[in-house]
Amino acid sequence: MKTIGLIGGMSWESSAIYYELLNKLVKDKLGGYHSAKSVMVSVDFAEIEKLQKKDDWKALTQHMIASSKELERAGADFIILCTNTMHLCSEEIINNTTIPFLHIADATASKIKSKGLQKVALLGTKFTMEKDFYKTILHKYGIEVIIPELVDREQIHQIIYDELVLGKVEDNSRETFKHIIAKLKNDGAEGVILGCTEIPLLIQQNDVDLPIFNTTEIHAEKAVQIALEV
């Protein structure tokens, strides 16, 4: 079994879900007392969030490179980044480490492609929705991506940072998300990417009538598949 390297802490709530999923998936596949071999470097999200607000992606990238090198030294066989937004730094992580990097958008795009969908909505932080780093990969798989209108993007971003990353799950915020998803369905979305690892804390499949793609689960499933490959 390969050792999975995780960069966590963004937020710790979603990183805890990753850890639980990885171990449950390995146990489901191998049975008995089996669990995932893993090592995690967990950052202080207060430092990351401050740099995000300043739009200082140079400093953020250096944080991610340093964490990746720690995982490499600790014996990880490949790296997963337990957050969607910070995949903005993925190219530099790849360029500064010698072990493979599993991109969350690649794993998600493969899953969407397997379902035969061609047009999906992307929800996440404003960085994820508005910048091209995520959508570019989906486009390579022939998947059209739409995002909410500006006022809705701002609401989603605010809910993520003011509530979900702090572990707060509010019913009125769930209704906001459901309303936004309904509008995206009217715009032609055939499915919805929950492109922030905290959104599944709020939205489950039974909340909406479009298929959802939980990027945390998809990423963890792909990581376990790689870890168990002979």
Residues with a catalytic annotation lie at 83, 196
What is the number of other CB atoms lying within 10 angstroms of the CB of residue 88? 19
Tell me, letter by letter, the H, E, C secondary structure of 128-196: HHHCCCCHHHHHHCCCEEECCCHHHHHHHHHHHHHCHHHCCCCHHHHHHHHHHHHHHHHCCCCEEEECC
The dihedral over CA atoms of 217, 218, 220, 225, expressed in degrees to the nearest 10, equals: 140
The dihedral over CA atoms of 89, 95, 96, 99, expressed in degrees to the nearest 10, equals: 100
The one-letter amino acid code at 98 reads T
Q: Cβ(105)–Cβ(128) under 8 Å?
A: no
Residue 28 and residue 32: Cα distance in Å, rounded? 9
User: What ranges in 54-103 are assigned the alpha helix state H?
Assistant: 57-73, 90-95
Q: Report the Cα–Cα distance between both ends of the chain, in Å, rounded.
A: 8
Residue 154 and residue 170: Cα distance in Å, rounded? 17
